[in-house]
C-alpha cells in the first residue's frame, strides 16, 4: 500500500506544483478567500467530491463512507499573511501586501493531493475521511467558526490531524516532525494598549502631554513582568510587535498605540490570565504616573494545541512506514508557536505534525512569516501521500 501511495503521489507532482503556484499567486487573508475557495471547490468537484460550505469560508468534503467505521478529520488552512512578497519568482504574489509566507498554499495543495489519492482508494476506506479546508487561521478565528457550524458532526469526528510545513531550520526536506505530547503548542492571545495624552506642537512639549514617552516607558516596564514575575522554568512570554503614534515630525500626537501577543504553555489558561492582569496594571500605572490615560484590550484567544499521546504514537508509526524511521523527528518540548487547530484538538483526540520543506543546508535561509520565505515544492507529494496513507491506515486499524 505505502509504495503504491508514494508512486501515485509522485505522479501528481506536476499537478501539485500547478495548484500550489496558482494559490501562491493569488493569496487572500482572513475569511475573504474568493479565488482560493473557487479553486478548491473546482478541484474537488473534478475529482468527484461534493464539497460543502462550512461556516463563513470553510469547505468540507467526505471520502469513503461506503464501509462502516470511524471518521478521521484532515485539516488544511488556506489563508495568507498581510506581507509584501520580496521574492522575484515567476509565480510571486500578484496581490499587493499579501503573501503565502506561512505555507498555507502548501497545506491546501497537499490536502487536495490527498483527496485525489483517497478517491483512487475510496473502496478501501474503512470508515470516513473528512477533508477540512479552513480559513482565517492566522487570526485564530477559522477553526472555531467551522466547529460552530458543524465541522465535527455529521459524521461525528473521532480523531484529527494536520500538517504544517517548516523552513529555515536544520530539519531536511521531507522529514516528518512529531510535536510533543500534551500541550504541544502555546496558547496565544492578542493585546492592544492605547495611551492617551494631549497633543501639541513639538516646540512646546510642556503644554502637551506626550503619549509617546508614556508608551515607551510602558513598553520597557512590561519587560519586567517577563524577567521578574514569571517562573524561569516555565514558558510564558509576551511581545509588543507593533507600535504606532503620530503622523508628522513636528506634532505631538494625542495617542500612541501598541499591539502584541501573549503566549504560554499552560493549558489551564491561569498563566495567561495572570499576564493579562499585570499588563493592565503596569500599563495603567505607568501611564497615570506620566499624566496619561490607558486603555487595554485583549482579544482572539487561542488555547494550547493538545496532542493525544496514543493517537500520536499510532499515526507516527504510519508516517514512519511511509517515509522511513530515519525521516521522523519527535519533539519532546512544546513549540512556542501557536495554531488555531487548538480548538479542534480541545474537542477530539488530535495530533500536529510538521513537514520539513527547506533547511539551511538546502539553501532556505528564512523561516515562515518572512517576505523572502521560500519553500521546497518537492515535499508536496510527500505531504499528500502522508495525509492519505495515515488516514487509510488509521481507519483500517480502528476497524479491527
pLDDT in tens, 79-113: 999 999 999 999 999 999 999 999 999 999 999 99
Other CB atoms within 10 Å distance of the CB of residue 393: 20
User: Dihedral angle at the C-alpha atoms of 28, 29, 32, 35, nearest 10 degrees?
Assistant: 20
pLDDT value of residue 231: 86
- Across the range 21-49, mean pLDDT stands at 98
pLDDT in tens, 305-352: 999 999 999 999 999 999 999 999 999 999 989 999 999 999 999 999
User: Dihedral angle at the C-alpha atoms of 18, 20, 22, 23, nearest 10 degrees?
Assistant: 160
* pLDDT of residue 233 exceeding 80: no
pTM: 0.93
Q: What is the spatial distance between Cα 99 and Cα 370, in angstroms, rounded to a whole number?
A: 9
**Does this chain's domain 2-184+304-399 share its CATH topology with 187-301?**
no
* pLDDT of residue 183 exceeding 90: yes
Strand partners, 128: 64, 71
pLDDT in tens, 167-178: 999 999 999 999
| DSSP state, residue 334 | -
Domain boundaries, the chain: 2-184+304-399, 187-301
At residue 234 the predicted structure's pLDDT band, cuts being 50, 70 and 90, is confident
CB-CB contact of 328 with 320 (8 Å): yes
Q: Which CATH architecture has domain 187-301?
A: 2-Layer Sandwich (3.30)
| DSSP state, residue 124 | G
Side-chain-side CA neighbours of 181 within 13 Å: the count stands at 9
Retrieve residue 255's grid coordinates. Answer: 495617542
* pLDDT of residue 354 exceeding 90: yes
3-state secondary structure 265-310: CCCCCHHHHHHHHHHHHHHHHHHHHCCCEEEEEEEEEECCEEECHH
Retrieve residue 165's grid coordinates. Answer: 510545513
Other CB atoms within 10 Å distance of the CB of residue 121: 18
User: Dihedral angle at the C-alpha atoms of 110, 113, 114, 120, nearest 10 degrees?
Assistant: -170
Alpha helices (runs of H) in 163-261, residue ranges in sequence order: 211-224
CB-CB contact of 293 with 287 (8 Å): yes
pLDDT in tens, 190-224: 999 999 999 999 999 999 999 999 999 999 999 99
pLDDT in tens, 276-310: 999 999 999 999 999 999 999 999 999 999 999 99
Q: How many residues are there in the chain?
A: 400
Domain 2-184+304-399: what homologous superfamily?
A: Zn peptidases (3.40.630.10)
- In degrees and rounded to multiples of 5, residue 287 shows phi and psi of -60, -45
pLDDT value of residue 45: 98
Q: What are the angstrom distances between the C-alpha of 130 and each of 14, 26, 72, 153, 156?
A: 25, 26, 6, 10, 10
* pLDDT of residue 149 exceeding 90: yes
pLDDT value of residue 382: 98
Amino acid at each position: 500500500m505505502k509504495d503504491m501511495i508514494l508512486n501515485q503521489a509522485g505522479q501528481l507532482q506536476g499537478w501539485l506544483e500547478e495548484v500550489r503556484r496558482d494559490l501562491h499567486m493569488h493569496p487572500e487573508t482572513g475569511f475573504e478567500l474568493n479565488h482560493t475557495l473557487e479553486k478548491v471547490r473546482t478541484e474537488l468537484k473534478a475529482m468527484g467530491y461534493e464539497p460543502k460550505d462550512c461556516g463563513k469560508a470553510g469547505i468540507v468534503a467526505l471520502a469513503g463512507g461506503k464501509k462502516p467505521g470511524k471518521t478521521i478529520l484532515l485539516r488544511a488552512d488556506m489563508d495568507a499573511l498581510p506581507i509584501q512578497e520580496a521574492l522575484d519568482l515567476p509565480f510571486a504574489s500578484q496581490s499587493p501586501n499579501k503573501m503565502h509566507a506561512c505555507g498555507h498554499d502548501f497545506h491546501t495543495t497537499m490536502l487536495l493531493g490527498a483527496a485525489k489519492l483517497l478517491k483512487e482508494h475510496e473502496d478501501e476506506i474503512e470508515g470516513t475521511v473528512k477533508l477540512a479546508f479552513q480559513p482565517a487561521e492566522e487570526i485564530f478565528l477559522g477553526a472555531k467558526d467551522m466547529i460552530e457550524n458543524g465541522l465535527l458532526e455529521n459524521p461525528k469526528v473521532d480523531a484529527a490531524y494536520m500538517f504544517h510545513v517548516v523552513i529555515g531550520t536544520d530539519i531536511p526536506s521531507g522529514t516528518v516532525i512529531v510535536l510533543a505530547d500534551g500541550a504541544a503548542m502555546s496558547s496565544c492571545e492578542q493585546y492592544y494598549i492605547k495611551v492617551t495624552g494631549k497633543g501639541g506642537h513639538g516646540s512646546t512639549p510642556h503644554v502637551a502631554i506626550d503619549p509617546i514617552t508614556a508608551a515607551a516607558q510602558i513598553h520597557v516596564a512590561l519587560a519586567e513582568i517577563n524577567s521578574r514575575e514569571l517562573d524561569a522554568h516555565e514558558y510564558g512570554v509576551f511581545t509588543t510587535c507593533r507600535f504606532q503614534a503620530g503622523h508628522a515630525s513636528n506634532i505631538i500626537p494625542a495617542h500612541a498605540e501598541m499591539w502584541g501577543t501573549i503566549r504560554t504553555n499552560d493549558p489551564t489558561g491561569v498563566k495567561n490570565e495572570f499576564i493579562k492582569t499585570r499588563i493592565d496594571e503596569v500599563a495603567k500605572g505607568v501611564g497615570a504616573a506620566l499624566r496619561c490615560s490607558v486603555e487595554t484590550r485583549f482579544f482572539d484567544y487561542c488555547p494550547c494545541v493538545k496532542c493525544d499521546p496514543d493517537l500520536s504514537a499510532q499515526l507516527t508509526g504510519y508516517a514512519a512506514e511511509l517515509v522511513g524511521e530515519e525521516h521522523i523527528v519527535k519533539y519532546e518540548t512544546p513549540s512556542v508557536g501557536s495554531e488555531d487547530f487548538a480548538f479542534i484538538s480541545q474537542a477530539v483526540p488530535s495530533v500536529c505534525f510538521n513537514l520539513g520543506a527547506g533547511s539551511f543546508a538546502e539553501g532556505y535561509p528564512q523561516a515562515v512569516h518572512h517576505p523572502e520565505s521560500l519553500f521546497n515544492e518537492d515535499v508536496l507529494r510527500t505531504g499528500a501521500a502522508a495525509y492519505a496513507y495515515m488516514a487509510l491506515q488509521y481507519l483500517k486499524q480502528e476497524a479491527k
